[in-house]
Every structure is written in C-alpha cells, then in structure tokens.
C-alpha cells in the first residue's frame, strides 16, 4: 500500500498515512483537528536493469556502443597468408 503525506494548515505538522488507492483522503489532522492537504512526494520507484529506456535507448552521441558510430576491426600485422 502506498504512503501518503498530509500537511496540517493549523499546526504545520506533516503526517504519513498508509492508505489503499480506494481509501478516501483524510480531511482533518489527527493531532489538532485542523484541515490537512495532501502533499506530492518523490517516488522511490526506480527502474533498474536491462530493458528500460535509461539503460538501453538513452545513448550519448546517437550510437549504441558508446563510440563515434564507426566500426573498427584490428588485425595483427604479422599474419602471413598461405599461397
């Protein structure tokens, strides 16, 4: 269940309340009875791992391998071909 934060207009206390999505928001401060308003909090939900935009598609320089987009292949110079 999500945790919602409410701030009291009378005593300025912030309350964290665990509620279902279907529950009605609280209207009064549990300490002083004043009117409360729901605060918008930063989410702790983070997408990590492969398959998310940040890791797979957000590449710098528009390339998928982090280089300048040119493929380079290195071959040893001392390999002799048999004829």
pLDDT digit string, tens, across residues 37-61: 999 877 777 777 676 665 556 556 5
The whole-model pTM stands at: 0.51
* pLDDT number for residue 65: 52
Task: Show me where the domains of the chain are located.
Answer: 3-57
CA distance 77 to 48: 43
* pLDDT number for residue 45: 74
24-38, 40-54, 68-82: which has the minimum mean pLDDT?
68-82
Q: How many helices (H) and strands (E) does the chain have?
A: 1, 3
CA distance 64 to 13: 49
């Amino acid at each position: 269940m999500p945790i919602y934060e409410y701030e009291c207009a009378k005593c300025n206390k912030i309350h964290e309340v665990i509620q279902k999505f279907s529950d009605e928001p609280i209207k009064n401060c549990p300490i002083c009875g004043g009117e409360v308003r729901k605060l918008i909090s930063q989410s702790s939900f983070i997408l990590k791992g492969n398959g998310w935009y940040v890791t797979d598609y957000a590449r710098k320089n528009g390339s998928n391998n982090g280089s300048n987009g040119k493929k380079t292949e290195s071959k040893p110079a001392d390999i002799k071909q048999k004829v």
